[in-house]
């Protein structure tokens, strides 16, 4: 696509400042949901092939558990019958899966709370699961051989999913699974973020994270990593942000430009994002298109400095923001802590010991940061006000993504798997 003219680029940037927000949750996507729904947190247990449903605040008690691979036998038969699919399946197990299959990456609820929509990396698909019966309602095989992060549109009608190996994002009707659009991205598309009005969709591609070419001077081998912003009506590209140029501009040539998890400020003017190998995060000003601040967080002295030992190039992976915009919460994945950071001063609070935290989100009441402890099979809440841990609850094997959702008020789990 031709480069945007200076005036048009400025106009797009201005529009994005007004419309970009944090990823919509099923709770925020359905403001007119019936009173019969209750707010919960979905916790994806990646290696288990299950999703726990827990209270969205308070003591975060587990309400129920869902089998997200009820069709496992059929899917495995298909994979074993196709040599190429089998090679990719085993590749996922032995690389990004750390010796395990990846059965759930991301999850959202439909607006009426009747179904959970799940991306399943090892099966390279997205499925909708009936929350009453646990049965598959629809299935969408993504292009390529692996499904990754998702996002739901503000009105709850669409879900976007990254297809890792085909550099594509698919946008699906959340009720039917029908594709309504798709667009090309950089290498290994990862996080997706809809703007508040649904007009734009942002995708962050992270490039190759499974090889051992991790020295700073080999960063160029990681592929095409960029933020792609598209119009959600036409799915045409409206802006590309290459953080390599922005990092170089402030003298950070040895830092990776692979944008990982990110959080937008409430006024939608700033993006806070993590990159591969870095123990910290950056602040990016959307209007001026530049990195404005860098925050380096403490290293755990017990963490190896051998970057090839860090899981999927992630030193820190997981960042979220308190709804009023005053605090950030950061998951220090390889450093085994999470911490609350003052957004004005960028001063971190207590380093809360947690085991390989892999995601951070906000509780339903907005008072806590909730992190998944993938190394301890727990979900832990940290009080935004004090920065201290308040509660931990056990979940399934290797929890990663945690998302707010709504389910029927009396729901306790599927009646059949």
Output the average pLDDT for the chain. Answer: 91
Radius of gyration (Cα) for the chain, nearest Å? 20
Q: What are phi and psi of 132, to 5 degrees?
A: -90, -45
| Tens-place pLDDT, residues 289-304 | 999 999 999 999 999 9
CATH superfamily, domain 6-295+403-408, is: YVTN repeat-like/Quinoprotein amine dehydrogenase (2.130.10.10)
Is the CB of residue 354 less than 8 Å from the CB of residue 373?
yes
Give the whole-angstrom CA distance, residue 316 versus residue 293.
17
Contacts of 362 (CB under 8 A, 6+ apart): 320, 321, 322, 323, 329, 368, 369, 370, 404
pLDDT of residue 12: 46
| Tens-place pLDDT, residues 164-187 | 999 999 999 999 999 999 999 999
Of the candidates 121, 120, 115, 159, the residue with the CA atom closest to the CA atom of residue 134: 115
pLDDT of residue 35: 53
pLDDT above 70 (res 200): yes
pTM of the model: 0.90
Is the CB of residue 150 less than 8 Å from the CB of residue 160?
yes
pLDDT above 90 (res 327): yes
pLDDT of residue 19: 43
For the chain, give every domain's residue range: 6-295+403-408
């Amino acid at each position: 696509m031709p480069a945007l003219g200076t005036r048009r680029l400025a106009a797009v940037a201005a529009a994005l400042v007004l419309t970009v927000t944090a990823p919509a949750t099923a709770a925020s996507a359905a403001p007119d949901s019936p009173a019969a729904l209750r707010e919960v947190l979905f916790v994806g247990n990646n290696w288990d092939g299950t999703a726990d449903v827990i209270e969205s605040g308070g003591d975060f008690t587990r309400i129920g558990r869902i089998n997200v691979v009820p069709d496992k036998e059929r899917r495995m038969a298909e994979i074993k019958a196709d040599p190429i699919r089998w090679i990719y399946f085993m590749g996922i197990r032995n690389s990004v899966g750390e010796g395990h299959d990846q059965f759930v990456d991301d999850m959202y609820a439909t607006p009426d709370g009747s179904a959970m929509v799940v991306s399943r990396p090892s099966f390279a698909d997205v499925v909708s699961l009936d929350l009453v019966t646990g049965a598959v309602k629809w299935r969408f095989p993504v292009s390529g051989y692996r499904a990754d992060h998702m996002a739901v549109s503000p009105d709850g009608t669409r879900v976007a999913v990254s297809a890792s190996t085909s550099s594509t994002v698919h946008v699906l009707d959340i009720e039917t699974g029908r594709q309504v659009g798709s667009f090309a991205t950089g290498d290994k598309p990862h996080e997706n973020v809809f703007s508040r009005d649904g007009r734009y969709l942002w995708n962050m591609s992270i490039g190759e994270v499974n090889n051992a070419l991790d020295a700073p001077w080999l960063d160029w081998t990681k592929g095409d990593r960029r933020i792609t912003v598209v119009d959600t009506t036409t799915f045409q590209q409206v802006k590309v942000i290459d953080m390599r140029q922005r990092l170089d501009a402030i003298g950070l040539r040895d830092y990776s430009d692979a944008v990982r998890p990110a959080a937008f400020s409430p006024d939608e003017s700033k993006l806070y994002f993590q990159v591969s190998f870095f123990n910290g995060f950056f602040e990016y000003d959307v209007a001026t298109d530049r990195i404005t601040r860098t925050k380096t967080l403490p290293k755990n002295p017990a963490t190896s400095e051998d970057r090839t030992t860090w899981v999927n190039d992630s030193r820190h992976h997981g960042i979220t923001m308190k709804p009023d915009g005053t605090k950030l919460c950061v998951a220090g994945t390889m450093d085994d802590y999470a911490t609350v950071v003052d957004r004005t001063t960028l001063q971190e609070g207590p380093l809360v010991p947690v085991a390989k935290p892999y995601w951070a989100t906000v509780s339903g009441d907005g008072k806590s940061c909730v992190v998944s402890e993938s190394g301890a099979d727990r979900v832990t809440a940290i009080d935004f006000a004090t920065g201290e841990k308040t509660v931990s609850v056990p979940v399934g094997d290797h929890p990663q993504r945690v998302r707010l959702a709504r389910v029927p008020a009396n729901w306790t789990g599927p009646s059949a798997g």
